[in-house]
C-alpha cells in the first residue's frame, strides 16, 4: 500500500487547493466528532464521576476512537489495493484530500477579511467565531484580525502540515489517526470542570502528536516567508524568542513565525466561555495589525503548504527507497 502513498499525497494536496470542502460532501472529521460525542456519553455512564474514573474514561476514549479512526480506513484501503491498485490510489487520494484544510481555512478566514473590508464589524465577529474558540462578541477590529491571523498560523500546522507529515509516514490510516487525536483535543481537551480530568489524556496525546509537526511547520513558514519576500529574518528571530509563549507546547511555534514575518504582535489576554485568560504576547508591535494581514497570512499558509508537500514527498520517496534496500 505505502509505495503508492506519494502519489495520493501529491494528488490529494492539489485537489484540496482546487476544490476545498464543498458543503454537499459529508466530512470525515464530522463522523469522527459524532463518534467522540457518542463514546463520551457511553463512557461517562460506565465510569464513576470521580477524578480517577474520568481519567479512565478519557483513556478508553482514546483507545476506541483511535482504533476505529485508523482501523476502518486501513481496512478499506487494504481491500481496495488488493483488488485493484488504481482503486486503492484513488481512495487514498480522496482520503488525503478530505483531511487537508488549506483551501477551507483560507476561504473561512477570508470571510472575516471581506467583512472587515466592508466595515461590518458585527459580521466580522460572527465570521471569526466560526473558526476560533474564544469569545468574539466584544472584539474590536484589531482583536478580530488577530484572532483570524492566529488561527491561520496555528492551523497551518494542525490543518495542513501535520496531516501531510503523517500521510508521508504511514499513509491515510496514520493521517486519520492524527485527525482523530486532534479532534478529540478540540472537543474534550478543555481545562474546565467538565473536562479537566476526562480530557487530560486526549489533550496530552494531542500535544505529543503535534510536537514534531509544529516545529517542522515553523521552519517551513520561515522558508516560505523568505520566498514571499516577507521579513524572514524577523520571523526566525521571533520564533527563537517567543516559540514557548503559550500554555500549549506547540501553538506558539507557528504563531511566533507569523508574528515575526508580518511584524505584528499576536496572542495576549483573551476571553473563553466568559472567563478572562491571561496569556503572554507573541512578537513585537512594529506596526498595528490590519485586516490586510489576513490576506498576507493566507499567502504564507499556501507557500508553506507548497514547500511542505515537496518536503514530505521527498521524505516518502526516501522511505520507499530505504524499504526496498532493506
- The grid cell for 251 is 501553538
Q: What is the pLDDT of residue 273?
A: 64
Cell reading at 49: 464521576
pLDDT at residue 12, as a whole number: 95
Q: Of 164, 179, 165, 218, whose CA–CA distance to 65 is shortest?
A: 179
> Within a 10 A sphere around the Cβ of 269, how many other Cβ atoms?
10
CA dist 175 and 168 (Å) reads: 9
pLDDT above 90 covers a percentage of the chain that reads 78
Question: Helices H, strands E: what count in the chain?
Answer: 12, 4
Nearest-angstrom CA–CA distance, 228 and 299: 8
Query: Is pLDDT larger for residue 300 or for residue 2?
Result: 300
Mean pLDDT to the nearest integer, 184-209: 91
**8 A C-beta contact, residue 145 and residue 125:** no
Domain residue ranges of the chain, discontinuous segments joined by +: 2-325
Could you give the dihedral angle defined by the CA atoms of residues 66, 71, 76 and 81, in that order, rounded to the nearest 10 degrees? 120
Lowest mean pLDDT among 58-72, 134-148, 263-277: 263-277
The predicted pLDDT at position 275 comes to: 72
Residue 112: pLDDT over 80 = yes
Cβ atoms 28, 98 nearer than 8 A: yes
**For the ranges 6-15, 23-32, 117-126, which has the lowest average pLDDT?**
23-32
Residue 36 scores a pLDDT above 90:
yes
| Residues shown for the chain | 326
Q: Quick one: pLDDT band at residue 288, thresholds 50, 70, 90?
A: very high
Kindly report which listed range (102-116, 141-155, 212-226, 268-282) carries the lowest average pLDDT score.
Answer: 268-282
The pLDDT value given to residue 1: 65
What is the per-residue pLDDT across 58-111, written as a single tens digit (0 to 9) for each? 999 999 999 999 999 999 999 999 999 999 999 999 999 999 999 999 999 999
pLDDT of the residue at 247: 80
- Alpha-carbon dihedral of residues 205, 13, 235, 149, nearest 10 degrees? -80
* Of 315 and 185, more confident: 185
Q: Averaged over 120-133, what is the pLDDT?
A: 91
Instruction: List, for residues 202-232, the tens digit of each pLDDT value.
Output: 999 999 999 999 999 999 999 999 999 999 9
Mean pLDDT of the residues in the chain: 91
- The Cα–Cα gap between 254 and 217 comes to 7
DSSP single-letter state for residue 249: T
Question: How sure is the predictor about 274, in pLDDT bands with cuts at 50, 70 and 90?
Answer: low
Which has the higher per-residue pLDDT, 67 or 245? 67
Q: Say what the pTM is.
A: 0.92
Q: What pLDDT, on the 0 to 100 scale, is given for residue 122?
A: 93
Distance CA 146, CA 211 (A): 24
Amino acid at each position: 500500500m505505502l509505495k503508492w502513498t506519494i502519489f495520493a499525497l501529491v494528488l490529494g494536496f492539489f485537489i484540496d487547493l482546487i476544490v476545498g470542502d464543498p458543503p454537499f460532501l459529508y466530512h470525515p472529521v464530522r463522523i469522527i466528532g459524532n463518534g467522540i460525542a457518542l463514546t463520551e456519553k457511553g463512557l461517562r455512564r460506565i465510569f464513576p464521576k470521580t477524578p480517577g474514573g474520568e481519567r479512565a474514561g478519557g483513556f478508553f476514549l482514546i483507545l476506541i476512537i483511535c482504533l476505529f479512526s485508523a482501523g476502518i480506513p486501513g481496512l478499506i484501503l487494504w481491500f481496495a489495493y488488493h483488488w485493484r491498485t488504481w482503486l486503492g490510489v484513488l481512495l487514498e487520494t480522496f482520503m488525503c484530500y478530505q483531511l487537508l484544510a488549506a483551501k477551507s481555512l483560507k476561504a473561512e478566514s477570508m470571510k472575516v477579511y471581506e467583512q472587515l473590508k466592508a466595515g461590518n464589524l458585527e459580521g466580522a465577529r460572527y465570521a471569526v467565531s466560526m473558526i476560533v474558540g474564544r469569545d468574539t462578541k466584544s472584539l474590536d477590529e484589531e482583536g478580530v484580525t488577530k484572532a483570524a491571523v492566529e488561527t491561520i498560523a496555528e492551523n497551518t500546522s494542525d490543518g495542513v502540515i501535520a496531516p501531510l507529515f503523517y500521510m508521508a509516514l504511514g499513509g491515510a490510516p496514520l493521517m486519520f489517526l492524527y485527525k482523530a487525536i486532534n479532534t478529540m483535543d478540540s472537543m474534550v481537551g478543555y481545562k474546565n470542570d467538565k473536562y479537566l480530568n476526562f480530557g487530560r489524556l486526549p489533550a496530552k496525546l494531542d500535544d505529543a502528536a503535534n510536537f514534531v509537526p509544529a516545529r517542522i511547520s515553523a521552519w517551513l513558514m520561515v522558508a516560505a516567508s523568505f520566498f514571499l519576500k516577507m521579513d524572514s529574518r524577523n520571523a526566525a528571530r521571533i520564533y527563537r524568542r517567543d516559540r514557548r509563549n503559550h500554555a500549549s507546547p506547540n501553538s506558539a511555534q507557528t504563531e511566533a513565525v507569523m508574528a515575526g514575518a508580518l511584524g505584528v504582535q499576536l496572542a495576549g489576554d483573551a476571553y473563553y466561555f466568559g472567563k478572562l485568560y491571561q496569556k503572554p504576547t507573541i512578537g513585537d508591535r512594529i506596526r498595528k495589525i490590519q485586516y490586510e494581514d489576513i490576506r498576507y497570512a493566507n499567502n504564507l499558509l499556501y507557500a508553506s503548504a507548497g514547500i511542505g508537500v515537496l518536503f514530505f514527498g521527498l521524505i516518502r520517496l526516501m522511505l520507499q527507497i530505504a524499504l526496498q534496500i532493506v
